[in-house]
Structure 1
Amino acid sequence: MSENNTLSATSSRSSSRTLLTWILGALSIFAPFSTDMYLSGFPLIAQDFNADISQVQLSLSTFFIGVAIGQLFYGPLIDRFGRRIPLLVGIALFIVSSLMILYVPTIEGFVGLRFLQAVGGCSGMIISRAIIQDLYDEQEGAKALSLMMVVQTVGPITAPVLGAYLLVFDGWKAVFTFLVAFGLVCWLVTYKFIPESLPVEQRQKQSISQTLGVFGHFLKNWRFMAPTLAGAFSNAVMFCFITGSPFVLMQLFGMERETYGWMFSATAAGMVVTSQANSMLLKRYTPQRLFTASIIVSLLAAATLVLVRNTDSLWLLMVPLFVCVSMVPMVCANSIAIAMAASGKDVGSASSLIGVTQFAFAGAISAIVGALHNGTSLPMCGMILVCTVLAFVINTFSPKHTARV
């Protein structure tokens, strides 16, 4: 009887942790939902506000700025005041700003509210990682991050399709109505199921100068920065793909829009598979070993991609491209777990710095892919190779790599 009770308790605890991880994953997709869903509605927004497309595009740039600033803001905040309250306040800010966007009369107001929406929405990205670090050790944390990556990677893939249907249904405001509803559901689920994971006695009491010193400490800590930078370059591979693949596949290879959509779904499925494979492999191998192995696989696939980029065979190009993108969740989940394990007591600040680094690198690399556009597949394929080479070099010469592999 005692053994049965123990098994039941273990199963219940495992189910509870799985539910918690799925919720945290959902909280981390506010950003892709808020950007990718409304892209095809730019002309409608410009028309309704009697504005230029360039002014509407500014709302996207403003959102990115809000995410970057918000991530720096939340880290020290949650280390000082705990995880739960800042998370609930951040989601509430996202809901209110999304609702106000439905009634804003000017394009300037729209752009400003997008900034507030980003500051609120990015709370889930930062705080979810901190909660995992609070509750799990490095090995279990990597498993939880792998499951989170399933949700995170599906978000950017499905958001444009969902947004397109909403735009057809009721215009661009339908997208923001959906975001309000999504935010409300997330707030209620967070209120009911997400615990406070940072005890009062473990919270930091730091001045602004001390907080800046914490960030400075992380920047000088190569055990933290090496996996952070390597993971950020690997994460940028997905943004190279998102930026460059529409032209390469639809213009150069003549792929139909419907086929292109199915291809995205297949890529998302590949990312889900590698995320789950990472969780299983972590039962036998350390995050560092899997991190190194996944970077090597990515590097070989990226080199192959560049070699075959001029092929007339779509499938010959798609195989290495699929491998490169599918490996992103495995690389990123283990890189974050390794970096967070080296963060010490300032978990929130560490999570902020990881988020800012990944977001900044992804945005910069995708912009470079666009700027290098020359009517060929080289900008996309070449930047994927550059990102994987840099990730490999950083990991190879990192102290963590030398010490454990």
Structure 2
Amino acid sequence: MAEHRTKISLRLILPLLAAIIAVSPLAIDMYLPGMPELTEYFSTKMPLVQNSLSIYLLGYAVGLLVFGPMADKYARRTLVMIGLLGFLLTTVALTFAQNIEQFIALRFFQAFMSTAATVVVPGIIRQLYGKDTAKGLSYVSMIMMLAPMIAPSIGSVLLLHSWQMIFYVLAGYAFMVFVCSFYYLPDVKTVKSTITYSAVERYKIVFSNRAARFDLLTVMMASLAFFSYITAISFVYLTVFKVSEFEFSLLFALNILALMTAHFMNTRLVGRFGSRKMLRFGVVLAVVAVTSLLLASIFSLSLYYYVVAILPLMGSLSMISVNADALILQEFAEHAGTATAVNGTLRFGIGALAGPILAIFYDGSTLPFALLMSGAVYLVVICQLIQSKLNIATEKM
């Protein structure tokens, strides 16, 4: 019986880890169609309702900083259970919110608690996959990508009943993941150290690691490019090129499919070539694609050229991120949770700058968007050139 349970656990582990990570994308995207109804329900203004999304991201970033070091000290399975339970309770509480202030506060704690579950996932994958960490991360990311693809559509259907129904279903999803985690998530032990570290000491170790420094910067710049896309793509497609909402949803889904395809390719090739070579391939592809996007903006080309440029660009960004993530985790056997927290916080921090930057340089065209995407990708190139020199110098020592 125990052997049967172990086999089931191993067979379900990657989809289960993907389901755990998908909690936050679902919490972000499912309620977006309900923002107008929330505005009316709470008798408030749309900017306040939109701020609930920013507050969620803030709660997520704060949670990463708190739970990251804990993931290197305490049982990871325990943190997953605590995080999912906290997320479940705050999600149910959201349906009882009486005003927008309560709603926003609960969104903060909803995100904060979710990180206790999600921050441990990369560390679990690292221990299960070892040198094939990038392959495991790609599999999980590929499955998890289904969440942002379908979440807005699910939210729109549930909104036919009420905005509360969105959070009831989200709570139901969290409950199912909680039950599956309780029965099937293996108790992967943290790597024990002979030295006891404080949270501050763990962060110092991560930030002082020269081998991972420029891979961390690479992830940051790739995230800046990605959040630039998330922030501006609706304006580019709907306002500049005036596509219909249905056409926009198709184009958006197509780009998500490009992300999933890149992750699938990475799972097939990373074992043969390694994470560093796959990262470099992603960088080359990103440079070609983003340069094409920039030229399309400079010369005001048609929508077709933008679509053709953005598809490989999004795929290449995912390939860069997942392989850089794997290389970073390989440097921190005893501090995987802290490294994940630093990585995630830097991502959300730099991603939050995309909106203000695009707002400052807004001119009604696609050029600011293309310039920001290009600048971020070209900075990735610089980071990886420096990283290569450091690797060569290390090998000679």
User: If the length of structure 1 is used for normalisation, what is the TM-score?
Assistant: 0.90
Partner of 1:196: 187
Letter in 2 for 1:269: L
Letter in 1 for 2:323: N
- Give 1:189 shift: 1.1
**Misfit runs of 4+, over 4 Å:** 15-18, 199-204, 401-404
- Give 1:196 shift: 1.4
Counterpart among 226, 232, 256 of residue 214 in structure 2: 226
Separation in 2 of the partners of 1:317 and 1:287?
29
Partner of 1:355: 344
User: If the length of structure 2 is used for normalisation, what is the TM-score?
Assistant: 0.92
1:84-136 Cα distance to aligned partner (Å, 9 max, x none): 11110011000000001111222221111111100112233311111112222
Partner of 2:323: 334
- Give 1:187 shift: 0.6
Aligned residue pairs, count: 388
Alignment of 1:279-298 (within 5 A): 279-298=267-286
Separation in 2 of the partners of 1:387 and 1:189?
39
Separation in 1 of the partners of 2:290 and 2:393?
24
- Give 1:202 shift: 5.1
Partner of 1:21: 14
- Give 1:203 shift: 8.8
**Alpha-carbon contact 1:79-1:203 (below 8 Å) kept:** no
Letter in 1 for 2:169: F
Partner of 1:69: 62
Listed as ranges, the gaps of 5+ residues in structure 2 are none
Change (3 A) 1:190 1:268: same
Partner of 1:4: none
**Alpha-carbon contact 1:80-1:204 (below 8 Å) kept:** no
- Give 1:390 shift: 1.2
Separation in 1 of the partners of 2:309 and 2:392?
26
Separation in 1 of the partners of 2:195 and 2:341?
15
Partner of 1:215: 203
Partner of 1:45: 38
Partner of 2:312: 323
Alignment of 1:85-100 (within 5 A): 85-100=78-93
**Alpha-carbon contact 1:229-1:394 (below 8 Å) kept:** yes
- Give 1:191 shift: 0.9
Letter in 2 for 1:155: A
Separation in 1 of the partners of 2:22 and 2:179?
16
Listed as ranges, the gaps of 5+ residues in structure 1 are 1-8
| SS of alignment partner, residue 353 of structure 2 | helix
Partner of 1:376: 365
Separation in 1 of the partners of 2:166 and 2:289?
37
Partner of 2:231: 243
| SS of alignment partner, residue 50 of structure 1 | coil
Separation in 1 of the partners of 2:110 and 2:24?
9
Separation in 1 of the partners of 2:263 and 2:256?
11
* Paired-residue identity, %: 22
| SS of alignment partner, residue 262 of structure 1 | helix
**Alpha-carbon contact 1:29-1:155 (below 8 Å) kept:** yes
1:197-221 Cα distance to aligned partner (Å, 9 max, x none): 1158559743xxx321221221121
Change (3 A) 1:370 1:170: farther
Letter in 2 for 1:59: S
- Give 1:76 shift: 1.3
